[in-house]
Chains A and B, each alone.
Chain A
Amino acid sequence: MPINCIDDKVVRVDAEAKARGEAMYVSDYSFPDMLYARMIRSDIPRGTIDSISVPQLPDGYYFISAKDIPEGGKNELWMIAKDWRCFADGDVRYVGETIGLLVGPDRNMLDYLAGRVKISYTEQEPAVTIDDALSLKGGPIVGEDNVLCSLFCEKGEKMQSIMDRADSVFTETIETGFQEHVHLETNGALITIEDGRYVIYVSAQCPFYVRKSIAGLLGLNPEDIVIRQTTTGGAFGGKEHFPDVLAGPLLVAESVIRKPIKLIFTREEDMLYSVKRHPSKTVFRTALDKEGNILGIEGTIYYNCGAYLSASYVVLQRGVFHANGVYDFPATYLKGIGVATNTFPSDAFRGFGAPQTLFAIETHLDHIAHKFGFDPAEYKARYFIRKGGETVTNGHIIEEVKLPEMMKKIADASDYYRKAREYGIGSGKGIGMSFYNHGGAFTGNGEQAIIKAHARLVKTGDRVRIEVGSTEMGQGFQTALRKIVANALGLDMDHVDYDNPDTSLVPDSGPTAASRSTMIVGKIAEDCALEMKERWAEGDFSVEKEYQHPEGHPWNQETFRGDAYLGYGWGAACVEVEVDRLTNEVRTTGIWTCHDIGHAIDELIVHGQVNGGVIQSLGYASMEKMENRKGHFKQSSMSDYVIPTSMDFPHQEWFLEDNPYQWGPQGAKGMGELVFNGADAAYVDAVERALGITVTKIPIPPEDIEEALENA
């Protein structure tokens, strides 16, 4: 059946092969004469390497390290900056930093040999926390002050004069912890040589990032390396830049060994030695009048970036731009500081810096509401930003904001007002509500100035092949994009092909990140399809287009002023809990959400994204505790870093608020990250009300609730 309406029900294109166990993930590939690799890593957080002693290697085994980088190559991975080294050389900056790669035919032998590689160090005192970094514990890691990146933006009257005339100033510090992605498929990559070219099979979100990042190791151009994305078993940001850290050492090894080499992380390696969500600390100083009205908010936001910059500056920017949530306050001054520590570099994770500050502002506003005796949800609703409202970057909201309607939907469905009144404070039962948003695509004019995404359609007979660099990682993009194109062409989806990208065959569509694929790449592909439809009778041909940015929305990336985002996703979540007064165990008894994602391309896919994002957020708030002691992550497995099971949270009720986006394909906006951004705050609001406690730090597992009760 041709797709004649975007709302037609379709079957997800990748579901059956995955359910039948036939989809090929990177660990499922093997080649003749294939070798395996095992990483040798730093086991101290900070120090200099005095010596590396490698045992006598049997025939066919290799130890690859910085010394194997050929002349003309540079020991650096080019992410946003080039500071992250492929192999530690001379010194180490965090536990788990790559020192070398053991390669050989038998994995058990590699394990045996790995245990016999001895590295001696002169250790230095590490800085692990944000406070360690700011107090320059052990001396600065970066520059003179450990600041990797910083920015500020301000709106309205000068903050000092507001603070001077305020009736009170409420100061509060809110913190969030590390979070591990736990994509069910661990990180992995496989390198080989085909027709004289290096070819890398990899579980990754951004194949074009990988080749750009690693080419310089051998003094090559990115085009000299072919990246083939394999079916990717979850990513959530954890496979945005991090695949470079596997692909780089593999490329160096391949230049020496010239046989297929496969590197698959164990779960323990993925837990201990991969990127995490940035821990954060936000200090708010809020100026209030006698009635509890907000006059202005000053926020200082610290993100723990780890030892290298990776994507941290961009993450921090998004954190700052979302630090006033969905609200329009008269004046704000927001400063973001990304600090260097001796922990594994923090990097992209669904939400990309926004969840930390959104949690902070929601929780802070709840606390102000409690102080003045207001219902927190109603108090927050007073400040909802509207169309035309000024953002923290002095830009404006371009679209209708339907938060009042969304709030009504979940308040009615959950019976919020009755329950909030009846449960009160400290009854053991609680209900909480949060509001959140997520700016779609790259900040400001980044899509136009930096990314310049391309998409191409190729017509052969009555079939059309989509050629884009965007990847399917579980979010449903292969289905969504085929549906968009089939709809524009009036074709059956079965006549539209879209394979996992191979960088030698498809144009660069920019990274699969920032909730931009449907909104940006989907729109370019739709435009290609509309032109193709007009010219359909011309025979076999292709249409390729570049992203066009709408006129009239200025952005200055130097001063961070202007329209940071053209369209936002908006969300409202309500969570109800019951707490066991003996064990402090929290049972979630209800979850209601409403999201505005423009117009949904496929409701069933959206349903799955909503459910999954909300549960990840509730895990973040309640149970996912990743501690770092003296530079070492303490949780190393799925039995001590616990993520939600099917028993932990109940069935969710979910709603959409239809609000077509003028520049999206069929009115669609981004949604993959939005659905992560707010249920955590609703959960904490509910727990606070149930127990009459004040929570300023997540996650809040039962043992931490006990502590909060003692402080109450």
Chain B
Amino acid sequence: MLRKIVFSVNDARVVFTGNPLTRLIDVLRDELKLTGVKEGCGEGECGACSILKDGKLVTSCILPVGACEGSRIYTIEGIKDTDKGRCIVEAFRDGGAVQCGFCIPGMVMAAYALLSVNPDPDEDAIRRAISGNICRCTGYDLIVASIRLAAERGGDLWR
């Protein structure tokens, strides 16, 4: 079953022709070479493949590309050089949030999604927002602190 699906990724128009059940992560990584999207579990449990779909945080490993018709998709590659993306990346760097790094692009996306709707989150709100993103290295404390740092440093950027 071949189908044509049109959507945007990081503001570029993408025309996908193929099986609509193809996982979005495979389109992003294999065809568009957006390898900042990581596959950690393949079942929507770990959040390493998190992307923004129409402003919402979703796991691209359980999203069929057929569900993306007309959607605006952003991956880490699409936000890393924006003011907001840089703010989060630098806060993660300075706050000691990064160890092995495999979960981190997904964590950055989760932080982006959170701060976009809640510019001044407390610890509890941050922990809730990243509860779908598993990290095996850090124990989360420094990720939480780094997201708080991004909120403080970003200030009006998030409002």
B102 touches A233 (CB 8 A): yes
A638 touches B36 (CB 8 A): no
In the complex, what residues of A have CB within 8 A of residue B108's CB? 19
Are B102 and A185 in contact, CB atoms less than 8 angstroms apart? yes
Residue numbers in B under 8 Å from A24 (CB-CB): 35
Residues of A within 8 A of B38 (CB): 21, 25, 184-185, 233
Q: A19 with B136: in contact, given A233-B100, A608-B142 (CB under 8 Å)? A: no
Shortest beta-carbon distance from B105 to chain A in Å: 4
Question: Cβ of B46 < 8 Å from any Cβ of A?
Answer: yes
* Closest chain B residue to A654, Cβ basis: B141
Mask of B69-113 contacts with A, CB within 8 angstroms, 1/0: 000000111001000000011101110111111111100100000
Q: Which residues in A have their C-beta under 8 angstroms from that of B54?
A: none
The yes or no answer to B137 lying at the interface (CB within 8 A) is yes
Q: Does A476 contact B (CB under 8 A)?
A: yes
Contact between chains at B127 and A18 (CB < 8 Å): no
CB-contacts of A85-132 with B (<8 A):
none
> Is A504 in contact with chain B by the CB < 8 A criterion?
no
**A709 interfacial contact with B, CB 8 Å:** no
Indicate if A267 sits at the interface (CB-CB under 8 A): yes
Find out whether the CB atom of A21 lies under 8 angstroms from the CB atom of B77. yes
Is B89 touching A611 in the complex (CB atoms < 8 A)?
no
Contact, CB under 8 Å: B48 / A611: no
Bound Cα distance from A11 to B92, whole angstroms = 10
Given the complex, which residues of B lie within 8 Å of A20, measured CB to CB? 36, 76, 80, 89, 105
In the assembled complex, A231 has its CB within 8 A of some CB on chain B: yes
Q: Are B43 and A638 in contact (CB under 8 A)?
A: yes
C-alpha gap A396/B42 in the complex (Å): 50
Pair B99/A475 contact, Cβ less than 8 Å = yes
In the complex, A235 Cα to B101 Cα: how many Å? 12
| Bound-complex Cα distance A612 to B104 (A) | 15
Number of chain B interface residues as a range:
35 or more
In the assembled complex, the Cα of A651 lies from the Cα of B127 at a distance in Å of: 10
Q: How far is the CA of A149 from the CA of B70 in the complex (A)?
A: 62
Name the CB-closest residue of A to B110: A646
Determine if A615 and B39 form an interchain contact, defined as CB atoms under 8 angstroms apart.
no
Check B151 for interface membership: any CB of A closer than 8 A.
no
Q: Does the CB pair B131–A18 fall under 8 Å?
A: no
By a CB distance below 8 angstroms, the chain A residues around B104 are 18-19
Is A637 a contact partner of B136 (Cβ separation < 8 A)? no
CA distance A649 to B130 in the complex (A): 13
State whether A651 and B96 are in contact (beta carbons under 8 Å apart), knowing that A21-B80, A21-B105 are contacts in the complex.
no
A652 and B108 alpha carbons, distance in the complex (Å): 22
Task: Decide if B138 is an interface residue (CB 8 Å cutoff).
Answer: yes
A587 located at the interface, meaning its Cβ lies under 8 Å from any Cβ of chain B in the complex: no
- The distance from the CB of A42 to the nearest CB of chain B, in whole angstroms, is 23
B-facing mask of A167-182, CB < 8 A → 1, else 0?
0000000000000011
Interface pair B40/A19, CB less than 8 Å apart = no
B98 touches A12 (CB 8 A): yes
Considering residues A23, A608, A616, which has the most beta carbons from chain B within 10 angstroms of its beta carbon?
Answer: A608
A500 to B87, CA, bound (A): 28
Asked whether B140 is an interface residue with its Cβ less than 8 Å from the other chain, the reply is: yes
Check A614 against B43 for contact (C-beta < 8 Å). no
Q: How far is the CB of B143 from chain A (nearest CB, A)?
A: 8
CA distance A268 to B134 in the complex (A): 16
Residue of A nearest to B100 (CB): A474
Closest residue of B by beta carbon distance from A614: B139
User: What's the nearest-Cβ distance from chain B to residue A59, in Å?
Assistant: 22
Pair B137/A647 contact, Cβ less than 8 Å: no
Chain A residue nearest to B34 in the complex (CB):
A21
Bound form: Cα–Cα A552–B98 in Å: 41
B96 touching A184, Cβ below 8 Å:
no
Given contacts A21-B80, A637-B43, contact A183 B100 (CB under 8 A): yes
**A645 located at the interface, meaning its Cβ lies under 8 Å from any Cβ of chain B in the complex:** yes
Which chain A residue lies CB-closest to B89? A19
Query: Which of A16, A234, A476 interacts with B93 by CB under 8 Å?
Result: A16
Name which residue of chain B comes closest to A20, CB basis: B80
CB < 8 Å neighbour of A608 from B88, B105, B131, B137: B137
Tell me, rounded to whole Å, the shortest Cβ–Cβ distance linking B67 to chain A.
Answer: 20
Judge whether A647 and B36 touch: CB under 8 Å: no
| Complex contact A647–B127 (CB within 8 A) | yes
CB pair B45–A637 under 8 Å, yes or no, is yes
Contact check, B101 vs A645: say whether CB atoms are below 8 A apart: no
A253 to B8, CA, bound (A): 40
CB within 8 Å of B: which A1-57 residues: 11-12, 14-25, 27-28
Known contacts A20-B36, A643-B134, A645-B134; A611/B139 CB under 8 A:
yes
In the complex, whether B159 has a CB less than 8 A from a CB of chain A is no
Complex interface: chain B residues within 8 A of A232 (CB):
100
Q: Is there contact, CB below 8 Å, between A21 and B35?
A: yes
- Whether B41 sits at the interface, judged by CB under 8 Å, is yes
A605 CB-CB contact with B under 8 Å: yes
From residue B55, how far is it (CB to closest CB) to chain A in Å? 19
Report chain A residues within 8 Å CB of B24: none
Task: Known contacts A234-B100, A608-B138; decide if A15 and B93 are in contact (CB<8 Å).
Answer: yes
**Is residue A256 contacting chain B, with contact meaning CB distance below 8 A?**
no
Contact A18 B98 (CB under 8 A): yes
Would A233 and B96 count as touching, CB distance under 8 A? no
The CA of A18 and the CA of B90, in the complex, are separated in Å by 11
Distance, CA A646 to CA B107, complexed state (A): 12
- Beyond A185-B102, A233-B101, whether A11 also contacts B93 by CB under 8 A is yes
Is A135 interfacial (CB-CB < 8 Å)?
A: no
Of the listed residues A616, A638, A644, A652, the one surrounded by the most CB atoms of chain B closer than 10 A to its CB is A638
Which of B34, B39, B98, B103 gathers the greatest number of chain A CB atoms within 10 Å? B98
CB closest residue in chain B, given A645: B131
Interface positions, chain B 23-38, Cβ under 8 Å from A, are 34-38
Q: Which residues of A contact B (CB under 8 A)?
A: 11-12, 14-25, 27-28, 181-186, 231-236, 266-268, 473-476, 604-605, 607-616, 637-639, 643-647, 649, 651-652
Could you list 12 examples of A-B contacts with CB < 8 Å? Answer: A12-B98, A14-B101, A16-B90, A20-B36, A22-B36, A27-B35, A27-B39, A184-B100, A185-B38, A186-B40, A639-B43, A649-B139
A604-B142, A646-B127 given. 9 additional CB < 8 A pairs? Answer: A21-B75, A182-B136, A184-B40, A185-B38, A231-B101, A608-B96, A616-B136, A646-B126, A647-B127
| Shortest beta-carbon contacts, A-B, top 6 | A21-B36, A18-B101, A474-B100, A233-B102, A611-B139, A615-B139
Q: Which residues of B contact A (CB under 8 A)?
A: 34-43, 45-46, 48, 75-77, 80, 88-90, 92-94, 96-105, 108, 123, 126-128, 130-144
